[in-house]
């Protein structure tokens, strides 16, 4: 992996060792079964909660581990190295659901919502995307109307990670239609997990103290190319009454909260991509050192060595970009462009490296006997979620032009 001491401190390396041991022992043996069955990994989720993986960067006062963003990035990377359906559990929960409450919530909101999330009692999610608004998320149609001391939400979100299994969600709704993206508000919404029996069995995933809001329901599990064990669903709001104390930040000022959350989330997706690429690379080093053709190990062919050298260079660059963006965010420095560049680069590296891994496993790479085909399927979403590659290029170009004093 090379010397990363410019970025990582001892506690980050300890986190890496701890999560790597856990992932090898508990996730690697069952990852392909979960991929096939598409079941949510409740048992491993409970073990991850026990290890404190759902609250890594949050203050101990709110049930967190009191570490930092980089520790969480390293944990996601190490989980993704073995299985991305497990890493997205920590990633989506931490960067999309809990972080906005930590950064924008009142102490009372942190007590009520961040504490059960960070302590690993329940899972959380982030509701921005709708059937008609993905990249153009400001054109959302979900509405919130004020009635007395409550807001009444109507609408639908789609592609929501943890939609079914989660209990706390940050959801965007239009509160002032005439104001465009300056008329969107962020709401904290709660419901019971759809797998109450599993949650009770493993002792993780449900809190009786959170209100199950009437009219807040979910659709069927969406079937996907990869991330098969991750729970992705529609959220449906039919006259859901949300108390005004559940508004996160200010009325009509929710869109900047979503954008800030996405800046952090993109660093998280870069960490997933990096981990997937590293996992596929590790498998490939092992395989090309064992498999022989033409009386040679295949890693002794120069053509294969060139592929390995290119892959390692891309992984290293992705790692440096991801850790750098994480450090900037941790230190409160501007990081929009760096986060977008890290996700753009790391997600393309993940696609390229996993495709190379399948290629270098030959026919076996295409079979379900080896994990590289799953890794290749899991890599693709990193080029789509939390800003497609094309949207990231728009963000990067805008930041570049601003830096040059041009109209962005």
Contact 153, 173 (CB under 8 A): yes
Distance CA 78, CA 84 (A): 10
16-33 CB burial, b ≥16 within 10 A, e <16: bebbbebbeebbeebbbe
Nearest to 346 by CA among 331, 377, 325, 360: 325
Return contacts of 249-253, CB within 8 angstroms, 24+ apart: 249/104, 249/185, 249/186, 250/185, 251/175, 251/185, 252/175, 252/176, 252/179, 252/182, 252/183, 252/184, 252/185, 253/182, 253/185
In the complex, minimum distance from the CB of residue 397 to ligand FAD, in angstroms, rounded to a whole number: 11
* DSSP class per residue in 88-156: HHHHIIIIIIIHHHHHH--HHHIIIIIHHHHTTSS-EEEE--BTTBSSSGGG---EEEEETTEEEEEEE
Cβ proximity to ligand FAD, 26 vs 263, nearer residue? 263
Q: Is 134 in the site for ligand FAD (CB under 6 A)?
A: yes
Q: Please identify, among the stretches 74-82, 158-166, 184-192, 315-323, the one whose residues bind ligand FAD according to the rule CB under 6 A.
A: 158-166
Q: Which is nearer to ligand FAD, 78 or 231 (CB)?
A: 231
232 binds ligand FAD (CB under 6 A): yes
Q: Smaller CB distance to ligand FAD: residue 183 or 268?
A: 268
Q: Which residues ranging from 359 to 388 are in contact with ligand FAD (CB under 6 A)?
A: 381, 384-386, 388
Q: Judge contact between 329 and 69, C-beta under 8 A.
A: yes
Among 79, 80, 89, 160, binds ligand FAD (CB under 6 A): 160
3-state SS assignment for residue 173: strand
Q: Residue 61 Cβ, how far from ligand FAD at the closest point, in Å?
A: 27
Question: Catalytic positions, please?
Answer: 386
Of 53-61, 67-75, 127-135, 306-314, which segment contacts ligand FAD by CB under 6 A? 127-135
Short-list 52, 42, 36, 51, CA closest to 86: 42
Q: Does 341 bind ligand FAD (CB under 6 A)?
A: no
Q: Which residue's CB is nearer to ligand FAD, number 169 or number 281?
A: 169
Separation between Cα atoms, residue 186 and residue 61, nearest integer Å: 24
Considering the rule CB under 6 A, would residue 139 count as an interface residue with ligand FAD?
no
Both tokens of residue 356?
A: 């190379």
Tokens matching residue 217: 């329901």
CA 80/CA 88 separation, integer angstroms: 8
Taking CB under 6 A as the binding criterion, the range among 73-81, 121-129, 207-215, 324-332 that sits at the site for ligand FAD is 121-129
Q: Would you call 223 exposed, middle or buried from its count of C-beta atoms within 10 A (0-12, 13-18, 19+)?
A: exposed
Counting Cα atoms < 13 Å in the Cβ hemisphere of 163 gives: 25
Complex with ligand FAD: residue 225 or 403, whichever CB lies closer: 225
- Structure token pair of residue 351: 């696609």
Smallest distance from ligand FAD to CB 9, Å? 30
Is 106 near ligand FAD (CB under 6 A)?
no
Q: Does 58 bind ligand FAD (CB under 6 A)?
A: no
129 is an interface residue for ligand FAD by CB under 6 A: yes
Residue from 59, 56, 76 nearest 323 by CA: 76
Residue number with the smallest Cβ distance to ligand FAD: 134
Nearer to ligand FAD, 166 or 365 (CB): 166
Among residues 21, 390, 397, 401, the one that binds ligand FAD under rule CB under 6 A:
390
Count other Cβ atoms within 10 Å, centred on residue 44: 23
The distance of closest approach from Cβ of residue 408 to ligand FAD in the complex, given in angstroms and rounded to an integer, is 14
Nearer to ligand FAD, 8 or 80 (CB): 80
We find the least distance from the C-beta atom of residue 394 to ligand FAD, in angstroms, to be 6
The binder of ligand FAD chosen from 92, 140, 152, 356 (CB under 6 A) = 92
Q: How many residues bind ligand FAD (CB under 6 A)?
A: 22
Among 58, 113, 151, 159, binds ligand FAD (CB under 6 A): 159
Residues that bind ligand FAD in the complex, under the rule CB under 6 A: 92, 96, 125-129, 134-135, 159-161, 224, 227, 232, 381, 384-386, 388, 390-391
């Amino acid at each position: 992996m090379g010397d990363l001491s410019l970025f990582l401190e001892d506690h980050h390396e300890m986190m890496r060792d701890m999560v790597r041991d856990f992932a090898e022992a508990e996730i690697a043996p069952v990852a392909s079964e979960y991929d096939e069955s598409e079941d949510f990994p409740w048992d491993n989720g409970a073990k991850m909660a026990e290890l404190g993986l759902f609250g890594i960067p949050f203050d101990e006062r709110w049930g967190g581990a009191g570490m930092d963003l980089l520790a969480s990035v390293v944990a996601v990377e190490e989980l993704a190295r073995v299985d991305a359906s497990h890493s997205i559990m920590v990633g989506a929960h931490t960067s999309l659901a809990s972080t906005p409450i930590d950064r924008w919530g009142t102490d009372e909101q942190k007590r009520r919502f961040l504490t059960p999330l960070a302590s690993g009692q329940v899972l959380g999610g982030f509701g921005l995307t709708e059937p008609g608004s993905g990249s153009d998320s400001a054109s959302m149609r979900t509405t919130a109307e004020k009635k007395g001391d409550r807001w009444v939400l109507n609408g639908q979100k789609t592609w929501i990670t943890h939609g079914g299994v989660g209990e706390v969600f940050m959801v965007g709704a239009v509160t002032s239609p005439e104001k465009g993206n300056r008329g969107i508000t962020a709401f904290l919404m709660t419901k019971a997990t759809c797998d109450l029996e599993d949650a009770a069995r493993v002792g993780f995933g449900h809190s009786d103290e959170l209100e199950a809001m009437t009219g807040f329901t979910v659709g069927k599990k969406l079937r996907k190319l990869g991330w098969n064990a991750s729970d992705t669903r529609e959220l449906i709001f039919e006259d859901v009454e949300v108390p005004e104390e559940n508004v996160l930040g200010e009325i009509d000022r929710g869109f900047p909260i979503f954008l800030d959350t996405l800046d952090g989330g993109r660093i998280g997706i870069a960490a997933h991509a990096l981990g997937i690429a590293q996992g596929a690379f590790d498998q490939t080093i092992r395989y090309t050192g064992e498999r022989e053709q033409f009386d040679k190990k295949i890693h002794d062919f120069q053509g294969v060595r060139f592929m390995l050298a290119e892959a390692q260079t891309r992984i290293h660059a992705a790692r440096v970009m991801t850790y750098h963006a994480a450090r900037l965010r941790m230190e409160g420095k501007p990081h929009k462009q760096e986060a977008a560049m890290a996700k753009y680069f790391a997600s393309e590296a993940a696609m390229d490296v996993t495709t190379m891994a399948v290629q270098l496993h030959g026919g076996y790479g295409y079979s379900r006997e080896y994990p590289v085909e799953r890794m290749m399927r899991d890599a693709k979403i990193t080029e789509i979620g939390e800003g497609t590659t094309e949207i990231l290029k728009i963000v990067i170009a805008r930041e570049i032009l601003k830096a040059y004093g041009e109209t962005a």
